[in-house]
Structure 1
Amino acid sequence: MALSWDAFLAAVQERGQYPSRREAERAARIVLGLLGAHLVGDERAELAARLPATCVLVLLNPLPAAEPLGPDRFVRATAAWIEGATEETATGDVGAVLSVVAEAAGEELMRRVLLQLPPGYDLLFGPPRQI
């Protein structure tokens, strides 16, 4: 069963140490939108099914990425979408969101998701870290 939106955001807020739920939600929507642009097929649908309904809309609706972004470019793209963000803060944003996604997905699905992404994304799905 998928997490509730409240539980998902609470986990993101805790891991990202955001002072408000609004900041956690902003990071979640941006990171999930970028991730959704990089995933296709069954893995994207299965991942969406394990996330809250609000996440599903964000994950399934983006236009496909013109080219796959490597992990560093994914972090830079996240920073570009978050007002006032730096690569360092965006690294924490990505880790806060994707670590919750990874837990919801489970090991087997995450293995298949990572096969669709450029090398190095496994580090982005770990606990938040600072550069």
Structure 2
Amino acid sequence: MTSDLRAPLQHQPVMTFEQILDKVRYEGVYPTRERAEAAVRLVLSGLGRQLTGDERVELAARLPFEAASILTAQIPDTQPLTGWAFVKDLAGRTGATLATTRWDTGSVLSTVATLAGPDLLTRILRHLPSGYALLFGRAELTQAA
């Protein structure tokens, strides 16, 4: 009798951290890689304070080590923020304008959405309060009354 007790396959991220920075720099039209990295660190830290459970673990597994470390180093907030409150919170932490912070957030989260894939992203959006879909580059769907 043989048994198939293989260790679960670990997901290998499809992008390196440097590739994420390059993609965010291109998508966000940032003048330098350092500026793109600041946006990535800010937004992933903020997302780490909002995301919990299996979705947090699965997303971290799809990110390169450096990005996953930024996400998971944060302790989730006890009171989740709506998408707009999330942007305002990030702006308050940096002193940047709301418009700049919204741009940074969209530039980073659209890349995160690509790495997450459609199924995981749908599950993430189900667990976050309203307002995050647009930040991830998706239409915000609401149920008819």
TM-score (norm 1): 0.91
Shift of 1:34: 0.8
Please state if 1:20 is matched with 2:32: yes
- Give the Cα–Cα distance (whole angstroms) in 2 for the partners of residues 31 and 81 of structure 1: 11
Number of residue pairs the alignment of both structures matches: 126
After TM superposition, the runs of 4+ consecutive aligned structure 1 residues lying more than 6 A away are none
- Determine which of 120, 128, 134 is the counterpart of 1:109: 120
Matched residue, 1:98: 109
Q: Which secondary structure does the structure 2 equivalent of 1:66 belong to? A: coil
Residues 48-67 of structure 1: CA distance to partner in whole angstroms, max 9, x if unpaired?
A: 11111111111111111131
Larger-Rg structure: 2
TM-score of the pair, normalised by structure 2: 0.83
How far residue 81 of structure 1 moved from its aligned partner, in angstroms, is 2.5
Distance 1:9 1:104 in 2: 13
Structure number with greater CO (CA < 8 Å, separation at least 6) is 1
More divergent stretch after superposition (99-108 vs 40-49): 40-49
Contact 1:49 1:56 in 2 (8 A): yes
Structure 1 CA distance for aligned equivalents of residues 92 and 78 of structure 2: 17
- Cα distance in 2 for residues equivalent to 1:69 and 1:124: 13
1:110 CA drift (Å): 0.2
Q: Which of the residues 91, 94, 97 maps onto 1:86?
A: 97
Amino acid at match of 2:65: A
Provide, for residues 18-59 of structure 1, a one-character-per-residue CA deviation record: whole Å limited to 9, x for no partner: 101111111111110110111112111110111111111111
Asked whether the 8 Å contact 1:27–1:93 carries over to 2, the reply is: yes
The residue that corresponds to 1:55 in the other structure is 67
Partner of 2:89: 77
Unaligned runs of 5+ in 1: none
Could you tell me the percent identity over the aligned residues? 44
Backbone CA RMSD of aligned residues: 1.2
